[in-house]
Amino acid sequence: MHSIKSIVLMLFAATLLAACSSNPQRQVLTEIEYYEEAREAIDDDNMLIAEDRLKRQIGRASCRERVCLAV
């Protein structure tokens, strides 16, 4: 009985690891790249994309500030 629980637990853990490893990594852009993408989106009159790019950059900047304050 104990070995069955161990096997099931190991299979469950392996399944979770496999699912996590297949998750594609989101591309991390530099600050300049975010602003360039926002500018291109504005030029194309796509304000939703521009807003998203600027929010991502602002999120990265505020995270960077929190790290600096913690140090």
For 14-40, the pLDDT digits (tens) are 776 665 555 556 677 788 888 888 899
The pair phi, psi for residue 26, each rounded to 5°, is -75, 135
What does DSSP assign to residue 22?
Answer: T
- Average pLDDT on 38-67 reads 78
- Average pLDDT on 62-69 reads 57
pLDDT band at 45; cut points 50, 70, 90 = very high
User: Residues with Cβ < 8 Å from 34, sequence gap 6 or more?
Assistant: 53, 54, 56, 57, 60
Angle, vertex CA 43, rays to CA 38 and CA 44, nearest 5? 95
In the chain, alpha helices (H): 2-21, 31-43, 47-70
Q: What percent of the chain has pLDDT over 90?
A: 14
